[in-house]
Chains A and B, each alone.
Chain A
Amino acid sequence: MEWLTPQWQANLLAMGQALVILLGAVLLGAVLTVIERRLLGLWQDRYGPNRVGPFGSLQLVADMIKIFFKEDWIPPFADRTLFVLSPAIAMASLLLSFIIIPITPGWGIADLHIGLLFFFAMAGINVYAVLFGGWASGNKYALIGAMRASAQTLSYEVFMGLALMGVVAITGSFNMREIVNAQADLWFIVPQFFGFCTFLIAGIAVTHRHPFDQPEAEQELADGYHVEYSSMKFGMFFIGEYVGMVLVSALIVTLFFGGWHGPWLPPVVWFALKTGFFLIFFILLRGSLPRPRYDRVMSFGWKVCLPLTLVNLLVTGAVVLLVPG
C-alpha cells in the first residue's frame, strides 16, 4: 500500500466523486421521466403509470427494457456520421456542465475560476446536437424542428448570459464556489430578482421544456428534430432533456438560492431539497401552461427579456459602483 500517498488518495477521492455525480445526474434524469408522469397524473386528476410494481415504481425498469430492445434503425437517407454523433453530443455536453456545480463545501468536481463561462460554452455546443440531428435525419419535420430549436436557443442564450452577469458583478468572480459563499447572508434572489426571472425563462427555453417546446411540438412537427430516431439514440435525446432540467435546477439553486446554505439541515440535504423544488416546478409548468406560438416566443425573448436583462445589468453595475464594499 505504499503507492497510496496522500496525493493518490486525493485523486481517487476526486474520481469517485466525479463518478458518483455523473451517475447521480443520469439516474436522476431517468427517474424524472417517471416522476414527471406520476406528478402530471396527480395534477391532472388521473392515475398516471401505476401498474408496474408497487405504485408504479418499476415503470422505469420496464421503460428501460423496452427502449433497449427496440430496433436501432438508421434511415437509409440519413447522414450516418452526424446522425450517430448527435445524441452523443446532446448527452455529453449537458453532463460535462455538471463539472462546475458545487454541491456541498466538500463535494464538487472542478473548481474552475471561469466556472460559469464553462456552462455557457457547453450550452453553446449543445445546440449542435439538435441542429445536426435534425439535418442528418433527412426529414423535413426534423429540419424545421432543428431550425426552430437552434434559433430559439441562440436567442435565449444571449440574455441567459446577460441575466447572470448581475450575479457575477456582485460576487466579482465567475467561480461557482465564490458565488455560493457570497450568498451566506443574503440569497441572490433578492438583489437579482429580475436576473432570476429571466434566467429561469432562458433555462427552460434552452432545455426545450414545455412552454418553449415548439421545436418538438407534436401537433405541428410530429416530434421535431428527433422524429427519425429510435431505440437508445432517441433515449439519449430524451434523457438528455431531463438531465438538462436537473442541470438548470442545480444552476438556479447555486446562483440564486444560496446553494448548500441553509439552517439546521446538512448542506447536501439543502441542495437536494432546493433542486427538487425546481424540478417539480418545471413539471408543474408543463402541466399548467399552454404552448405559445413560435414567433411570439421569439419576440418575447428579444423584446422583453433582453431589454430587461440589460437594464438589470446597468442598475446592478451602478449599485456595485456606488455602494462601497
Chain B
Amino acid sequence: MEIAFYISGLVAVLATLGVITGTSPAHAVLYLIISLIAVAMVFFALGAPFAGVLEIIVYAGAIMVLFVFVVMMLNLGRDAQAQERQWLRPVTWIGPSVLATVLLGLLLAGLMGDEPGRVIAGELLTAKAVALILFGPWLMVVELAAMLLLAALVTASHVGKVTSAKAQTGSKISENGGRS
C-alpha cells in the first residue's frame, strides 16, 4: 500500500504542475481532474476508500464539470494561450518559487527531525465508521455545513429567478415583435 501511496502522490504533484504550467485552459482542467483522481487514490492507499470515492464523485465528477463548462463557454482561442505563455515567463515565477522552496525545506526538516510518525497501516475505514464519527461528535459541523449549503441553494435559486424573469419578458417582447 505504501508504494501505491507514493506513486499516486507523485502523480498528483506532477498533474498539479501540469495545471499550473499548461497554457491551454482545457488541458489544464484535464490535469486538475487527474490530480483529483490521484488524490482519491492516495485516500484509497491510506485505507479510507469512502473518502476517496467521495473525492471522485464530488470533486472530479461534479465540481470539475462546472469548470469544464466555463472553459467551454469562454471559447478561449490561441490569443488566450499566447497571453498565458507571456504570464509564465521566468521573471514572474522564479521569485515566488524560491521562497516557496525555502518553506518546503523547512517543512521537510520539521517532518524529518521528529520521529517518523505513523507508517501507513493499511487498516480500512468503512463508510459506517465515517458516518458514526460525522453524526456523533461532529454533528454540529455537519448541521452547519448543511445550513451553509441550503443558504447557497436559496441564493442561487433567487439569483437565477431574477435573470430568467427578465429573459422571459425580453423573449415575449421579441416574440410579439416577430408576429406583428
Contacts and interface: CB of A to CB of B under 8 A. Distances in A.
Interface stretch (B60-68, B140-148, B169-177): B60-68
A131 interface: yes
Given A81-B27, A132-B30, A150 B56 contact: no
Interface string B37-72: 100000000000110011011001110010011011
Interface in A187-237: none
Contact of A114 (B26, B53, B69, B71): B53
Interface residues of A, number: 29
Contact of B56 (A79, A112, A124, A147): A124
A167 interface: no
B102 interface: no
A117 interface: yes
B127 A121 contact: no
B126 interface: yes
B33 interface: yes
A83 B126 CA distance: 38
Interface in A121-139: 121, 123-125, 127-128, 131-132, 134-136
Main secondary structure of the interface of B (DSSP, over half): helix
A135 B26 contact: yes
Question: Max chain A CB contacts within 10 Å: which of B30, B56, B61, B124?
Answer: B61
A118 B26 CA distance: 26
A150 B69 contact: yes
Given A114-B49, A117-B57, A121-B56, 10 more contacts: A79-B26, A112-B49, A113-B49, A117-B53, A117-B54, A118-B53, A120-B57, A121-B53, A121-B61, A157-B61
Interface of B: 24, 26-27, 30, 33, 37, 49-50, 53-54, 56-57, 60-62, 65, 68-69, 71-72, 124, 126-128
27 contacts: A82-B27, A82-B30, A112-B49, A113-B49, A113-B124, A113-B126, A117-B50, A117-B53, A120-B53, A121-B53, A121-B57, A123-B61, A124-B57, A124-B65, A125-B37, A127-B61, A128-B33, A128-B65, A131-B72, A132-B68, A134-B72, A135-B72, A147-B69, A147-B72, A154-B65, A157-B61, A172-B128
